[in-house]
Amino acid sequence: TIAVTGTHGKTTTTALIGLILKTAGRDPSVIVGGWVKALGGNACLGKGPEMVIEADESDSSFLKFSPDIAVITNIEEEHMDHFRNLEDIQAAFRGFINRLTPGGEWFGCSEDLRVLGLANERIRNSTLYGFNPASSLVSASDIMECPNLKRAVAFKAWSRGSRLGTIEMKIIGRHNVLNSLAAIGVGLRLHIPFAVIARALGAYEGAGRRFDVKYEDPQFLIVDDYAHHPTEIQKTLAAAKALHKKRIVALFQPHRYSRAEALLGQFGLSFSDADKLVVTDVYAAGENPLPGVTGDKVCRVIKSLGHKDAVFVERARLTEYLRSRIRPGDLVITLGAGDVGQVAGQLSDFLRNPENQHNYPCHPFESIQGKVLLNEPFYKHTSLKVGGPADYWVQPKDAEDLKKTLRICRDHHLKVYILGAGSNVLAPDEGVRGTVLALTSPYFREIRLDKGTLAARAGVPHAIFIQQAIRQGLGGAEFLIGIPGCIGGALAMNAGSHGQSIASLVQSMTVMDYSGFESVIKKEAMSFGYRSSGIRDAIILEGHFSLVSSKREAVQRKLDQYSDYRQVTQDLKYPSAGCMFKNPKESNCSSGKLIEDAGLKGRRIGNAQVSLKHANFIINLGGASSRDITDLIEEVKKTVKQKFQVTLETEVKIL
């Protein structure tokens, strides 16, 4: 018998252990306190020898079990309608451990000080799991929450100092990493191969009322969760924040008057990740009301402790209230052990009705002919593969559509970000407020021969530009091969390599200012510098280039030469933005040489790394966050400054 108990995480941990045993072909019996998709309910009767049970501590009924293996996830001051004080709670858990069968073993979370204290009493054999390998025999490292904004978590699992492998799961939150570590520990104890354990954990899709997605469309995500204790609430909202939605709207129903009274002072700090909080009436759960203990009081205490947008709404008015307050980009989450989940269902049903969609205008760009996306993440469009969502992502159809888009942005006071190929941009994990204008439609990718010059619009990729030049019998732009990006970006930053830059080729540029006025800038009026065009407050629409007549064979030889050089010297295996730093004016050394001499090659923060192949490349090893990269940039700049008194400046635009 395997019994799982603790203040939080019992259901998930029990279900995970049960699924591991099922995946291993052991056909266990499993009893869980919630509906689990993988089990087809909250229990299953198997023919194997193992039974996995969720053991309830709330009324001390877990003291009726005598398991062979036990798990204690955490111990908190909870269920004070049954226990007199914290000492009573700890005594009950101590008694639970003492009920292990001879030779039995229990697994405890080292992140919980009370569990750690019980382990130190050495009542029975114990194995600790947690984030710190110094205090845990089963541990996790390299945790990635919501990689690429997916509802997922990934981490590397370790046992007794040896790396087991990578776990990728379809549930979110660091608290679920801990639940998984408990399940891994039990699985290993039962001699189940790690590969089987990893496969089982990867297949787990969650339990009912545990970040239970009720509705999702491009505008809204509606979630129901059982969390009702301050710690559970804080961890659940922290996990939700990792999804980087525009706004988190939390609806909290306090559970039991006795619990609300006992934990009143702790609720205030639990909702810091909720942008808007709605508190409703206490769910009695059979208790009689206590004088002065109300949902309104809970709300007032939370506001007094610093929450900027908390409001009390009676239970009967909740659904109507939310219908009129939610807006596109919201993650709405109902929290509580009572009937508040019904509101998530009612709100979901309302949003599923097409007739109600007009209540939430998608965006102010209805008249735009091009493509419009809401809350579109940068990671889908940048070479670094990082970055959260922009409020609006507009791909204008043509120049007139671009003018119209700029006018709408002015009228709605929306900040504008211009994006081409996304090769020279680092967007924050939380995304940006405003509008991204992506010049990627077919119009902006047109290229033509015009009166002896090659005219290319802003969205033309460098490789296409070079290919078209070759078709016309022209050369001179070969140095652009391998530089990530498109013509608009190359002109904006005067891209170059091998001692050449695009400034030597351009004869004129067509630009549009932010009021929509177009103008042509001749070569003599340009002020190109190192990685700079001098263009300010304008959008580059097109460039006219003077190239030289060249034989295809000669151009191809040079392209092969440059491509071979890049293959040898640059890290092209992983996502990057190319060279991260400009070469400094105050040094004869390149940025890459300075970074290498500073001993920073291979330096890693999270999953961002200074390339071992080219020190001026920062690469995304997979699942890196924007924060990982910006922290690494700052460390590189600081170290180079300390060692060589040289200030590095990024080529990449950091939003």
Q: Which residues are catalytic?
A: 10-11, 54
**Mode of pairing for the β-strands spanning 276-279 and 247-252:** parallel
The structure tokens listed for 438 are: 């992506």
Beta bridge partners of 454: 449, 545
Distance between CA atoms of residues 303 and 310, nearest Å: 6
Name 460's Cβ contacts closer than 8 Å, sequence gap at least 6. 444, 445, 446, 447, 486, 487
Q: What angle do CA 298, 301, 305 make, to 5 degrees?
A: 140
- How would DSSP label each residue in 115-151? HHHHHHTTSS-EEEEES-TTT-SEEEEEEEESGGG-S
Residue that the structure tokens 């033509």 belong to: 448
The structure tokens listed for 321 are: 């209230």
Distance between CA atoms of residues 401 and 372, nearest Å: 12
Distance between CA atoms of residues 40 and 552, nearest Å: 65
Distance of CA 317 to the CA centre of its chain: 33
Distance between CA atoms of residues 166 and 178, nearest Å: 14
Distance between CA atoms of residues 132 and 130, nearest Å: 6
Distance between CA atoms of residues 617 and 611, nearest Å: 5
**Mode of pairing for the β-strands spanning 330-335 and 221-225:** parallel
Spell 357-382 as b/e; 16+ CB within 10 A means b. Answer: eeeeeebbbeebebebbbbbbbbebb
Give the three-class secondary structure for 183: helix
Distance between CA atoms of residues 386 and 378, nearest Å: 6
**Mode of pairing for the β-strands spanning 432-438 and 389-395:** parallel
Residue that the structure tokens 């652009």 belong to: 480
Cross-sheet strand order for the sheet of 432-438: 371-377, 389-395, 432-438, 416-419
Distance between CA atoms of residues 152 and 148, nearest Å: 9
Q: Greatest CA separation found in the chain?
A: 92
Distance between CA atoms of residues 439 and 445, nearest Å: 8
- How would DSSP label each residue in 477-537? -GGGTT--SBHHHHHHHT-EETTEEGGGTEEEEEEEETTS-EEEEEGGG---BTTB----S
Give the three-class secondary structure for 104: coil
